[in-house]
Amino acid sequence: MIVIIKNSTPADEITRISQELRDTWGVTVEKSIGKHKIILGLVGETATIDPLQIQNSSSWIEQVLRVERPFKRVSREFRHGEASEVVVPTPNGTVYIGEQHPVVLVAGPCSVENEEMIVETAKRVKAAGAKFLRGGAYKPRSSPYAFQGHGESALDLLAAAREATGLGIITELMDAADLPALSRVADVIQIGARNMQNFSLLKKVGAQDKPVLLKRGMSATIDEWLMAAEYLLAAGNSNVILCERGIRTFDSKYVRNTLDLSVIPVLRNLTHLPIMIDPSHGTGKSEYVAPMAIAALAAGADSLMIEVHPNPAKALSDGPQSLTPERFDRVVQEMSVLGKVIGRWSISEKATLVTSGQSVGSRV
């Protein structure tokens, strides 16, 4: 249930109304200040509450509405139709992720392999326009014999890349025991597809204040995905980004997964949370990454996560879906054409031209 407060309401009156709602109905009250409205979200046993009784309790209350969806805090209704944004402080400045902001690029290798490789990749993706470096220290793999990541030592290498470039760091958490070490390095904590419904892990990550990137499970419905996000918000963390990374369907002959781009308009209708698309995992093949990244941009994605490796043929994990830095430069240039048309592009054209080996003056 949401209570819409009139814009002219004094702050002390909002506090009084919130306290009265808690005391009278035994609910949790969460205040959300949007561009046009002040919303009080009521969470708890609200089925027996009469909206008219709340409506008539104060002249400062504009409207009382029920949230019908099972995911309450995640629901777009909970913010009365307004989108939220995730704010991430990084060494290079604060990054805003959300539908009212320019598209944010996240790039880097699947796994952190060594310092030279991760620092050099970080420098290249930053020069091309990325705001975040992605790289796995802990890697969930289907085979127990496949490379599992270097663990905590890889976090030190990510810290070195952060120091060298100022990029924000996104890396995956698999075990709550690693949360303290990972939090010292990560600016955004990733929960991978295989842990999307690890509810005990979600509760622990939701109880800390670093932003969380929640990837969709490979066989998860949209409702299951949003309910997983609800765990994070219910635990206290509202800085959540949803990441579509492809789902399993009946045809896996040509692509690794089926990238569900229809989820972008669906999520826009259902939730206020920002949306990221991962075309690298979504297709599993580097030659398909560019067209799907452009399609995701056209569909309204707020952020893109693209795997980049200096030598994909020798990558310890997910080489076939990784772009070389040179190819990433070109993909960014290709995306910039559409990005500027839709008004969601702020990446320097000069930077991408220089990193791709062209001089700015050489353009006709």
Instruction: Flag whether pLDDT at 101 surpasses 50.
Output: yes
CA distances in angstroms from 172 to 48, 102, 212, listed in the order given? 41, 24, 10
User: How far is it, in rounded angstroms, from Cα 159 to Cα 350?
Assistant: 28
Residue 171 three-state SS: strand
Work out the angle between the directed axes of helices 222-234 and 263-270 (0-180°, nearest 10).
40
Q: Beta partners for 29? A: 42
Residue 286 pLDDT greater than 90, yes or no: yes
Evaluate if residue 362 carries a pLDDT over 60: no
Q: What is the pLDDT of residue 363?
A: 27
Q: Where in the chain is CATH 3.30.70.1140?
A: 2-66
Spatial contact of 263 and 217, defined as CB atoms under 8 Å apart: no
Can you spell out the DSSP letters for 36-83? Answer: S-EEEEEES--TT--HHHHHTT-TTEEEEE---SS--SSBGGGGTTPP
Q: How confident is the model at residue 351 (pLDDT cuts 50, 70, 90)?
A: low
- Averaged confidence pLDDT in the chain: 91
Q: Which DSSP string do the residues of 252-279 spell out, in sequence order?
A: -SS-SSB--TTHHHHHHHHB-S-EEE-H
- 355 pLDDT higher than 60: no
Question: Is the predicted pLDDT of residue 270 greater than 80, yes or no?
Answer: yes
* This prediction's pTM: 0.89
303-338: per-residue pLDDT in tens? 999 999 999 999 988 899 999 999 999 999 999 999
The pLDDT, as a whole number, for residue 81 is 87
If you ran DSSP here, which 8-state letter would residue 342 be given?
T
Res 243 pLDDT > 80: yes
Question: Contact 218/247 with Cβ under 8 angstroms?
Answer: yes
Res 358 pLDDT > 80 = no
CA 85, CA 273: separation in Å to the nearest integer? 7
Q: Which of 339, 345, 314, 326 is nearest to 125 (CA)?
A: 326
> Contact at 8 Å (CB) between 254 and 264?
no
Q: What is the pLDDT of residue 273?
A: 98
- What mean pLDDT comes out for the span 283-300? 97
Pick the closest to residue 46 from 97, 3, 89, 90 (CA basis): 3
CATH 3.20.20.70 segments of the chain? 86-355
Which tens digit of pLDDT belongs to each residue from 80-94? 888 999 999 999 999
Residue range 86-355 forms a domain whose CATH class is alpha beta
- What kind and span of H or E run contains 133? strand 132-134
Share of the chain above pLDDT 90, in %: 74
With beta carbons less than 8 A apart as the criterion, state whether 202 and 191 touch.
yes
CA distance 109 to 250: 28
* Architecture of the structural domain at 2-66: 2-Layer Sandwich (3.30)
pLDDT for 34 beyond 90: no
